[in-house]
Every structure is written in structure tokens, then in C-alpha cells.
């Protein structure tokens, strides 16, 4: 692995705090911060946890992380935990928007200079319709940017997690050997492996600390971008199993049903996939943060199919 941008930072200069540090994505982000490539450049990697005795928490502590037991709904506890922090990584998942809001309260009251909110999904700025999850995220980021004093806020969009690509939530019906899709089988969608997301978050953080103006406020990364036709080909090559691609509706018709009649909760992802709005293959910052894949190789769908 080539020397990361952190080589340009003074050793041990910054304190980073990670909320949700033992969660699905937070755990991976924490491990990258604590890896030999990055750990020497942070004086402290502070890990907010609910249970200091969990297996993941103990592992992270052994790697050099500082465990801080925090109730994310306790204003005073959060303020104390954020004292002296330069960077806050929000890796809180799930629908607990109150916890995320409380964390932001603490960030705004602190002297933090960099905040990465809990995005790590679709780029909801251009969807063309509202969804409660996205509107909450938009309000969160807008507040951080408008109320933060000398606070850089970087939203990171990754498409879908590569690890969820073959789940029923994305139209995969293994029992009936079908991919149930909307629109064309040739429309492409971006997926990014969680380990690649973690690497990108840490690299973006390090680069932003070194030169804030060099990093845009909104970043798209694209680990791998493929169509259903390509997915089917990769999977057939590895498993030998025949799957049928079945288009259930056209994008325009599905959009009308989703927005006007059925709401957006159940079908929003399928709609965006069908309209090509999660294709980040052209408009992304991959080369900015990982030029020529010199820091790491992005995981492709073809590689992932070999291990499913």
C-alpha cells in the first residue's frame, strides 16, 4: 500500500471521535483509523460505545482506540465526550434520528473543525421526490453547515452497500430464481463494499485536515457500477445457476405509483435504480481520494460474486 495522505500531517496532531464505532460501518471505519497506515497521525481515536465489554469494543481497544461509554441521548455526556475533539465521524445507523440530532448538538457546541454525517448511501440531492429518511438527512446536513462555526461538513454518497446487492430488498428472489426489477436490465447501479467505504472515509478525513479546500463538501464514490445483466452473468459464471431477469414495470409508471399512490417507503430504491440515478460511474471523486487505486483496489461486483 502506498503512503497515504496522512504522511503530510504532523504526527499525533488531531483527535478523532467515532459515534457508532462498533456498528456495521462504524466498526470498519474505526479499524482503518487504528491501522498502521493512519494511527500514528492521530493523537487519539476516541470510540463512542454503549457497551465497553462487547467483543468489538475490546478488539478496538486492543488496537489502540479509547473507549468512551456514551448515552447518545444525554446532552451533558456527549459534550464531555466531545471535549478536545477535532473530527467527528457519525456512523450511527438506523432510524434513531434523535440520537443523530443530539450528536450534532454536541458537535456544534464543541471546537470540532470537521464533521462527517451519517450518509453512506444514495445521493438524495437529485432524486426528484421526497422520502422521510432523505429529508431528515438533508435537514441534518443543512443545519450542520449553517450553524457550524469554522466547521467543514463532508457528505459522502456511496450508492448501495455491495454486501446487500443480492438481498430480497433489491429484487433478488432466490427461491424462484428471479431478479425482479423495474425498467431495463441494462441500467447500471453503483455499489461500494463496506471496507472500501471505511477506507474512503478515513482517507477523505485525512485529506480534508491537510487541505480543507481540496475536498468538496459533497463526495460521491463508486466502488463498482454494474447492470442487472452483468450481475446475472457474473453470478451464473460462479454458481452455474440460471436466474431470470423480470421487469415488473416501466420507470415512469412506477414513479407515478410510488409517489402519488403508494408513498415512497417501499419502492424508493427500486425507482432510483430504474432511473439510473444511482449510477455514479462518471460523476465521482474516486481519483481524488484514491488516484489510480494506489492506496487500495476498489472491490468489483465480479470479485464479490466469487465469494457470495
Does 258 fall in a domain? yes
State how far the Cα of 245 lies from the Cα of 177, in Å rounded to an integer.
9
Is 27 buried (19+), middle (13-18) or exposed (0-12) by CB count in 10 A?
Answer: buried
**Number of domains the chain is built from:** 2
Does 31 fall in a domain? yes
Q: Looking at the structure, do residues 104 and 139 belong to the same domain, yes or no?
A: yes
State how far the Cα of 42 lies from the Cα of 226, in Å rounded to an integer.
37
Q: Looking at the structure, do residues 83 and 204 belong to the same domain, yes or no?
A: yes
Confidence at 165, pLDDT banded by 50, 70, 90: confident
Q: Looking at the structure, do residues 154 and 170 belong to the same domain, yes or no?
A: no
For residue range 96-108, what is the model confidence (pLDDT) as tens digits? 889 999 999 999 9
Q: Is the pLDDT of residue 64 over 60?
A: yes
Residue 220: CB partners within 8 Å, gap ≥ 6? Answer: 123, 157, 158, 280, 283, 284, 285
Alpha carbon 97 to its chain centroid, in Å, reads 16
Closest CA relative to residue 218, chosen from 125, 93, 107: 125
Sign of CA dihedral 184, 132, 225, 154: positive
pLDDT recorded at residue 114: 99
Does 146 fall in a domain? yes
Owning domain of residue 23: 9-158+193-222+280-296
For residue range 200-242, what is the model confidence (pLDDT) as tens digits? 999 999 999 999 999 999 999 999 999 999 999 999 999 888 8
Q: Looking at the structure, do residues 135 and 59 belong to the same domain, yes or no?
A: yes
Does 45 fall in a domain? yes
Does 42 fall in a domain? yes
Which CATH number do you get for residue 36?
Answer: 3.40.50.720
Q: Looking at the structure, do residues 257 and 137 belong to the same domain, yes or no?
A: no
pLDDT recorded at residue 261: 55
Q: Looking at the structure, do residues 252 and 198 belong to the same domain, yes or no?
A: no
Is 308 buried (19+), middle (13-18) or exposed (0-12) by CB count in 10 A?
Answer: exposed
Does 1 fall in a domain? no
% of residues, the chain, pLDDT over 70: 94
Q: Is the pLDDT of residue 260 over 70?
A: no
Phi, psi of 84 (to 5 degrees): 80, 5
Confidence at 77, pLDDT banded by 50, 70, 90: very high
Q: Looking at the structure, do residues 265 and 141 belong to the same domain, yes or no?
A: no
116 has which bridge partners? Answer: 89
Q: Looking at the structure, do residues 201 and 60 belong to the same domain, yes or no?
A: yes
Q: Looking at the structure, do residues 292 and 261 belong to the same domain, yes or no?
A: no
Confidence at 129, pLDDT banded by 50, 70, 90: confident
**Backbone Cα Rg of the chain:** 20
pLDDT recorded at residue 6: 46
pLDDT recorded at residue 254: 86
User: What grid cell was written down for 130?
Assistant: 421526497
Q: Is the pLDDT of residue 12 over 80?
A: no
Closest CA relative to residue 159, chosen from 122, 197, 126, 119: 122
Mean pLDDT of the chain: 92
Amino acid at each position: 500500500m502506498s503512503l497515504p495522505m496522512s504522511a503530510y500531517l504532523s504526527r499525533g496532531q488531531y483527535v478523532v471521535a467515532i459515534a457508532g464505532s462498533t456498528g456495521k460501518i462504524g466498526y470498519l471505519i474505526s479499524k482503518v483509523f487504528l491501522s498502521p497506515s493512519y494511527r500514528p497521525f492521530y493523537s487519539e481515536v476516541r470510540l463512542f460505545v454503549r457497551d465497553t465489554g462487547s467483543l468489538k469494543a475490546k478488539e478496538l481497544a486492543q488496537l489502540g482506540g479509547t473507549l468512551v461509554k456514551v448515552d447518545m441521548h444525554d446532552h451533558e455526556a456527549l459534550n464531555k465526550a466531545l471535549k478536545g475533539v477535532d473530527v467527528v465521524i457519525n456512523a450511527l445507523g438506523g432510524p434513531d434520528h434523535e440520537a443523530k440530532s443530539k450528536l450534532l448538538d454536541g458537535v456544534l457546541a464543541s471546537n470540532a473543525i470537521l464533521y462527517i454525517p451519517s450518509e453512506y448511501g444514495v445521493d438524495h440531492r437529485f432524486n426528484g421526490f421526497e422520502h422521510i429518511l432523505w429529508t431528515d438527512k438533508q435537514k441534518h446536513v443543512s443545519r450542520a453547515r449553517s450553524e457550524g462555526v469554522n466547521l467543514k461538513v463532508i457528505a459522502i454518497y456511496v450508492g448501495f452497500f455491495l454486501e446487500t446487492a443480492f438481498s430480497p430488498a433489491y429484487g433478488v428472489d432466490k427461491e424462484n430464481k428471479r431478479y425482479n426489477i423495474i425498467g431495463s436490465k441494462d441500467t447500471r447501479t453503483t455499489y461500494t463494499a463496506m471496507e472500501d467505504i471505511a477506507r474512503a472515509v478515513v482517507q477523505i478525513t485525512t485529506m480534508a485536515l491537510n487541505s480543507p479546500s481540496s475536498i468538496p463538501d459533497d463526495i460521491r464514490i463508486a466502488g463498482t457500477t454494474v447492470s442487472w445483466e452483468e450481475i446475472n452473468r457474473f453470478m451464473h459464471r460462479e454458481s452455474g445457476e440460471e436466474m431470470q431477469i423480470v421487469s415488473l414495470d416501466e420507470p415512469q409508471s412506477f414513479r407515478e405509483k410510488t409517489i402519488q399512490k403508494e408513498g415512497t417507503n417501499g419502492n424508493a430504491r427500486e425507482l432510483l435504480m430504474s432511473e439510473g440515478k444511482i449510477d455514479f460511474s462518471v460523476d465521482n471523486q474516486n481519483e481524488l481520494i484514491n488516484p489510480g487505486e494506489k492506496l487500495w483496489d476498489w472491490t468489483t461486483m465480479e470479485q464479490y460474486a466469487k465469494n457470495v
